Amino acid sequence: MEATVYNQKGTEAGKIKLPENIFGLPWNESLVHQVATSMAANERTPIAHTKNRGEVAGTGMKPWRQKGTGRARHGSRRSPIWVGGGITHGPRNDKDYSRKINKKMKTKALFTVISSKFKDGEVVFLDDISLRAPKTKDAKSIISALSKIKEISSLARRKNAAFIALQGKDEAVSKSFNNFGNLEVGQIKDLNVLDILQYKYLIVANPDKSIPTLLSRLK
């Protein structure tokens, strides 16, 4: 299994052999769905919060006597059926939405999505992405050059266009691409299913080092 490697000017720079266990896996919808929804739940931070009948202000005294008034019996003004009473089954900020995900499941789901994108021609390899200083103008030039590549020709105009995976931390590159709302820059070691699913294309820089980093997750 081979793929073309490009440079940041959008021209071919060579070929690279790809491992089957990352780029040649069959699609597994149930696994990807389970991992993606679990990761999304783990990132969820509950904000909305309602008070129950034990937390709202008000007296706990019985509104009126049980019998003889001709009215319905009530035990508290803080009852959910009263105006100003507690809320039944309302949202709570102390609710825990987290789910456990096995490490092997997480890794296989990631490689399954990468394989699917590679099969659809949505994965592009760059020999390197480097900038001397953080400049949006230089980043825009790189995007224009990469748009010449057939597989990612819609890079400059597409919403949620691409996730750019770097081998290591590069502040100049990260800051240069920060002003583009349709791109995100991250490190290959932190790559996960949600990162890839949110974007159309996956651009992998320094594949000679990045792919071994992905392979290390299998150990």
Residues 61-71 pLDDT 10s? 999 999 999 99
Confidence of residue 154 (pLDDT cuts 50, 70, 90): confident
| H or E segment to which residue 169 belongs | none
* DSSP assignment letter at 152: G
pLDDT tens figures, 90-112: 999 999 999 999 999 999 999 99
Contact 22, 111 (CB under 8 A): yes
Confidence of residue 151 (pLDDT cuts 50, 70, 90): confident
Question: Per-residue DSSP letters for 61-83?
Answer: S-SS-SSSSSSPP-S-TTSTTST
Average model confidence (pLDDT) for the chain?
91
| H or E segment to which residue 4 belongs | strand 2-6
Q: What CATH architecture is 2-44+99-218?
A: 3-Layer(aba) Sandwich (3.40)
Total length of the chain: 219
What pLDDT score does 1 carry? 83
Over residues 84-94, mean pLDDT: 93
4 alpha carbon, distance to own chain's centre: 27
Please give the share of the chain, as a percent, with pLDDT higher than 70. 100
Residue matched to tokens 């299913």:
193
Domain range summary for the chain, segments of one domain joined by +: 2-44+99-218, 47-96
Residue matched to tokens 């008000």:
58
* 45-69 burial: b if 16+ Cβ within 10 Å, else e: eeeeeeeebeebeeeeeeeeeeeee
- Sorted by sequence, the CB contacts under 8 Å of residue 22 that are 6+ apart come out as 111, 114, 115, 211, 214, 215
Instruction: Please determine, for residue 27, whether its predicted confidence score (pLDDT) is greater than 80.
Output: yes
Contact 202, 186 (CB under 8 A): no
Confidence of residue 152 (pLDDT cuts 50, 70, 90): confident
Q: Where on the phi/psi map is residue 80: left (φ > 0), alpha (ψ -120 to 50), or beta? A: alpha
pLDDT tens figures, 8-21: 888 888 999 999 99
- What is the sign, positive or negative, of the torsion defined by CA atoms of 78, 82, 84, 87? positive
Confidence of residue 181 (pLDDT cuts 50, 70, 90): confident
* DSSP assignment letter at 27: P
